[in-house]
Structure 1
Amino acid sequence: MTRQRHFFLILILGSLTALPPFSIDMYLPGFPAIARFLHTDVAGVALSLSAFFIGLAFGQLLYGPLLDKFGRKKPLYIGLLIYIIASVGCASITSLQGLIVLRIIQALGSCAAAVASMAMVRDLFPVSENAKVFALLMLVVGASPMVAPTVGGYVTAGPGWQWVFIILALMGVVILLSVLFFLPDAYVPDKNLSLKPVPIIKGFWEVLKTPQFYTYAFTGAFAFSGLFAYVAGSPLVFMEVYGLNDKVYGWIFAALSVGFIGASQLNSLLLQRYSSQQIVNVSLSAQALIGVAFLVLSASGCLELYGTVAVIFLFLCTIGITNPNTAALSLAPFSKNAGTASSLLGASQLGIGALVSMSVSFFDSISVTPLAGVICITSVIAFLVLVISLKVNNGRFITPDGEVPLTIH
């Protein structure tokens, strides 16, 4: 594979991976404006974000078997068309209930892109390159929190929040055309795969009971769920607690994403000297410590705006390092059923993330402490899941570079 072709594939796969994050981040600055338009509050609008996460979680389970049976591109076409139609619908809503329903449908469409991109990494690149490819995808995905909320802030302040969804629909059209004309489908469809409920459940169970999968999938899911909490809680923290306007909020959100992006690229350098397991052990330990410190400092009233920004920045750095490695480790044992495995991986991430993001909305307190508490709890749970699972299995795992690590005592 030439360097130019490698770059082009990464760009298309990264665009697919970035579609759900753009759909999340771009409308965040518009929460207050949407709330006023729909005669509700910011917490009510935040439920539409949780609804999007729920739609993504269920959609992951739907598309996995479809991608394995029919190939990667046909289900992807359908998902992108659903996304485009739902995005246009979101721009026309007149009630919170309508927004919630359409956001679920929009999520069901966009998650086809997320599942297909992860499965195609496993299809198009050697297993030894998967962690590095996931890190490069993070670079493209990282454009979302840098660009999306900033653009969303100016669009909301200008033509209005409805245009945010029009822009998302146009993005869906561009991505659909790119996939149609430029993205190869190297996977040979498994036509013998049944789409009946019982065989599908058995397929998911075969993946789920693999020790390496459930160890790193659930470790990564709880670790990554802190990011969902941050996304759901950041409008309240920065615009309600600290009184920032939508434009400034967009710039702070973009600046904080530098930590996530930079760390994911630092991960590529770390992989030249350390294994994915070693990196996860260190980065997850750091994430748990930062989560505990965040809760203690916020509860004691020691954090002002800049302190909150600094702690969240460090927290996002740890996620940027942890996530590509847990994803690669989760998918390493699978080849034939990589679509099923990637969909189950995504569903676990998004399902846990949806519950965590909803928990932030349940707090009535206008303070940083609820967000800090959720981040602390999820980070500590992720650390405990990793430690306990490694102790229980105490065995040999397949690494992304094909090696078998030493038994962990």
Structure 2
Amino acid sequence: MAHATLPTKSTSDTAPDGELAPTGLARLRLILVLGALIALGPLTIDMYLPALPAIADDLMTTSSAVQLTLTGTLLGLGLGQLIVGPLSDAVGRRLPLIAGTVLHIVSSVLCLVAPNVAVLGVFRLFQGVGAAAAMVVAMAVVRDLFSGRAAATVLSRLMLVMGVAPILAPTLGAAVLLRGSWRGVFAVLAALGVVLVLVAIFLLKETLPPHRRRTGALRPVLATYRSLVLDREFVVLALVAALGMSALFSYVSGSSFVLQDHYGLDQQEFGLVFGIGAIAIIAASQFNVVLLNRLTPARIVLHALSAAVGSGMVLVVLTATGTGGLVGFVVPLFVLLGAIGFVLPNAPALALSRHGEAAGTAAALLGATQFGLGAAIAPLVGVLGNNGPAMAITMTGGAAVGWLALAATLRRERRLELAPAV
């Protein structure tokens, strides 16, 4: 049953089923394992970014068409979570995780031999479906074991582990390109999938006992999704999380073309600048743990979105006028990315805390909303011209809509709290 108001803080150290949540070294080991699993998605998305111009040349297609292969990956990540989430609630976490990672391995190999951009896009979609299993299961495991502020804290720590992936991914992709073609990137992704299958088999215990599992029949699954969609606060929080993610994906989609084609960076320089942006997100997510001792997660998200909109407006002006060159582009961009770093752990934790009885399904809908909206919004950067202003407008617009939605919901909750009892 969902709470009547937006969840704010929890100081409990117990898991949702009343058992003691992992602490100390056990919690650290769990965070490292879950971080490695979650990292598969960002690695799949980001590792081939330096190769996008090379792929366009090699497959004799346009930059917009190549960007659609990224959209296919995001769609796969969203679709896969809708499937894996309810399945993991019915059969446990480990089996869907292992099966999905194997699908990722096979798809990576097929991407390696893709003869044209259309085939590459199809295999990237299946690659995304496979990576979704790792991401949704990791989120569900967090909800299995933690709730409230503890869940937000663990997700912030996961952001630190997961943040290494977008830092290393473009650099690793650029290193592969120095020694071979863009197809080698997918060989590396296949090898990483093999490693993660071994991690899932040997290092992750089942966190959903049989007595807490739900039926996998279609009608109850649809009923669960219906209850989630009808929960106004869950929908708003999922939308806020998705808009924060869409701003990030707009950056991911357009950064290689803006930084390499417009500002003249080579593949290695692009990887460095991209990595600094990821550091901004990581730093914010870790400072978020400190802020949770003073502010509610909802208040942190609202302030972060305000900062994102403000810095985004500065970015729009500077890129549109050409003021400041590369520095004028990256400084407000990194502030915007840092603000998103506060949104990404808190909004999902708030949404998941409302439906602990169906953590896998809730995590699936949340993830599908994030990646589905990201898949819809990210191509706008290409449509608007693949330049700095296009990326700035797309990122800022998403943050602004998220701020409006959350502010309206918080005002509504406040009015309900102040209303006299009937």
- The alignment's TM-score, normalised by the length of structure 2, stands at 0.90
Does the CA-based 8 Å contact 2:53-2:257 persist in structure 1?
no
Counterpart CA distance in 1 for 2:281 and 2:396 is 18
Could you tell me how far 1:126 is from its partner in structure 2? 4.4
Alignment-derived partner of residue 89 in structure 1: 110
Could you tell me how far 1:155 is from its partner in structure 2? 0.8
Cα gap change, 1:58 to 1:395, in 2 (>3 Å): farther
> In percent, how many aligned pairs have the same letter?
37
Per-residue displacement from partner, 1:55-98 (whole Å, max 9, x unpaired)? 11111111111011011111111101100100111111110011
Could you tell me how far 1:247 is from its partner in structure 2? 1.3
Alignment-derived partner of residue 313 in structure 2: 292
Could you tell me how far 1:223 is from its partner in structure 2? 2.2
Alignment-derived partner of residue 315 in structure 1: 336
Alignment-derived partner of residue 260 in structure 1: 281
Alignment-derived partner of residue 371 in structure 1: 391
Deviates more, 1:42-51 or 1:300-309: 300-309
Per-residue displacement from partner, 1:267-318 (whole Å, max 9, x unpaired)? 1111122221221121111111112222122223324111111111101100
Could you tell me how far 1:369 is from its partner in structure 2? 1.0
Counterpart CA distance in 1 for 2:85 and 2:415 is 28
Counterpart CA distance in 2 for 1:137 and 1:23 is 17
Alignment-derived partner of residue 221 in structure 2: 200
Cα gap change, 1:154 to 1:179, in 2 (>3 Å): same
Counterpart CA distance in 1 for 2:369 and 2:310 is 24
Cα gap change, 1:48 to 1:273, in 2 (>3 Å): same
Per-residue displacement from partner, 1:115-155 (whole Å, max 9, x unpaired)? 00000001123444100100011011100121110111111
Counterpart CA distance in 2 for 1:256 and 1:107 is 23
Alignment-derived partner of residue 270 in structure 1: 291
Does the CA-based 8 Å contact 2:233-2:409 persist in structure 1?
no
Map residues 80-159 of structure 1 onto 2, 5 A cutoff.
80-159=101-180
Alignment-derived partner of residue 179 in structure 1: 200
Counterpart CA distance in 2 for 1:204 and 1:35 is 39
Check if 1:26 corresponds to 2:47. Answer: yes
Alignment-derived partner of residue 382 in structure 1: 402
Counterpart CA distance in 1 for 2:97 and 2:257 is 35
Deviates more, 1:165-174 or 1:199-208: 199-208
**Correspondence for 2:272 among 251, 264, 271:** 251
Does the CA-based 8 Å contact 2:34-2:138 persist in structure 1?
yes
Counterpart CA distance in 1 for 2:27 and 2:221 is 33
Alignment-derived partner of residue 359 in structure 2: 338
Deviates more, 1:315-324 or 1:119-128: 119-128
Cα gap change, 1:348 to 1:158, in 2 (>3 Å): same
Does the CA-based 8 Å contact 1:215-1:390 persist in structure 2?
no
Paired AA for residue 217 in structure 2: L
Alignment-derived partner of residue 361 in structure 1: 382
Counterpart CA distance in 2 for 1:191 and 1:214 is 24
Does the CA-based 8 Å contact 2:243-2:398 persist in structure 1?
yes
Could you tell me how far 1:191 is from its partner in structure 2? 5.6
Paired AA for residue 325 in structure 2: E
Counterpart CA distance in 2 for 1:392 and 1:195 is 36
Could you tell me how far 1:367 is from its partner in structure 2? 2.9
Could you tell me how far 1:23 is from its partner in structure 2? 0.6
SS at match of 1:142: helix
- The alignment's TM-score, normalised by the length of structure 1, stands at 0.93
Structure 1 unaligned segments of length 5 or more: list them. 397-405
Counterpart CA distance in 2 for 1:229 and 1:325 is 20
Paired AA for residue 310 in structure 1: V
Could you tell me how far 1:220 is from its partner in structure 2? 1.7
Alignment-derived partner of residue 99 in structure 2: 78
Does the CA-based 8 Å contact 2:89-2:214 persist in structure 1?
no
Does the CA-based 8 Å contact 1:212-1:329 persist in structure 2?
no
Could you tell me how far 1:224 is from its partner in structure 2? 2.1
Cα gap change, 1:86 to 1:321, in 2 (>3 Å): same
Could you tell me how far 1:323 is from its partner in structure 2? 1.3
